[in-house]
Amino acid sequence: MFMNKIAILGAGWLGWPLAKSLVEKGYTINASTTSPEKIKPLAADGIRPFLINLLTTGPEGEALESFLKVDVLLINIPSGRRDPRVETNFPKKIKTLISLAENFGVTRCIFVSSTGVFSDAQGRVAETTNPMPTTNSGKALVNVEKHLRSLSNFQTTIIRPGGLVGGDRLAGRFLAGKKDIPNGNAPVNMIHRKDLIHIILKIIDQKVFGKTFHCVADQSPTRRDFYREQAKKYGFEIPEFLPDGGTGPFKIIGNDLVKETLNYEFVFGDPMEF
């Protein structure tokens, strides 16, 4: 089974550099964007660009069949957590897309979900842990995950990244200058973009479909240590945490399955080194 053509829905912070890496490995890559100004730069990187908008009624854009005539569809778009109807709108968008993709013969998919499918009070969680989301965006992602798993002729690997860092996403900016921040002792579950791209490349190269993987670094430092170090490292105002803020609700995401299944060793196993 040779899989050479891949469509990436969402050529943004993750999708674009991922597409470049796949092109360098010899894959033919279609990548979608909603920004006309990205078309020429994407093409300059050897990527076939498409202008596509995902609507609840179905994807909208030119040459949809050409975009979706691929061996693997990678879905990497934000759920739209600010949308007051994200819990219903996002699943509708994905389900109509998948229905169209199936009509064009797509049988394999990678869906970029999130560790946000778990509540902050679930403690230690693995891929077998039942998600209990408390946010509407988390509920939307669980809905989509369940739908993708229910499709008998459509093999999907679901990846759940933790907090995303790398490129222009500097974690030190997130809490810079804030005071009296609670839960300073709670662990953080982070992943560097370089590792996330490497994991996706391995999934594609090794043709690992029908799985669910948690994508987080090996170590889970405390919020206090991580965000203060990141602010210091990149020149942001150092945040101040409540001295008695304690741990509060927390979750620690296990990553053993992705390491064992893909034989993967993290480039940035400790977020303190980001």
Task: Look at 135 and 244; give whichever has higher pLDDT.
Answer: 135
pLDDT reading at 111 higher than 70? yes
In a 3-state reduction of DSSP, which class is residue 234? helix
Q: How does pLDDT run across 149-164, given as a tens digit for each residue?
A: 999 999 999 999 999 9
1 — pLDDT class (breaks 50, 70, 90):
low
pTM metric for this prediction: 0.96
89 — pLDDT class (breaks 50, 70, 90):
very high
What is the rounded average pLDDT of the residues 66-94?
Answer: 95
Model pLDDT, residue 80: 87
CB 5 within 8 A of CB 105: no
Tell the residue number behind the tokens 């001295």, with chain if given.
243
Domains of the chain: 5-168+190-220+251-273 (3.40.50.720)
For 38, residues 6+ apart whose C-beta sits below 8 A from its C-beta are 11, 49
Q: How does pLDDT run across 161-193, given as a tens digit for each residue?
A: 999 999 999 999 999 999 999 999 999 999 999
For 129, residues 6+ apart whose C-beta sits below 8 A from its C-beta are 118, 122
Q: How does pLDDT run across 38-48, given as a tens digit for each residue?
A: 999 999 999 99
Model pLDDT, residue 165: 97
For 157, residues 6+ apart whose C-beta sits below 8 A from its C-beta are 109, 110, 111, 203, 208, 209, 210, 211, 212, 213
DSSP collapsed to 3 states, 171-208: HHHHCCCCCCECCCCCECCEEEHHHHHHHHHHHHHCCC
In a 3-state reduction of DSSP, which class is residue 87? helix
- CA-to-CA distance for 244 and 105, rounded, in angstroms? 57
What is the rounded average pLDDT of the residues 49-63?
Answer: 95
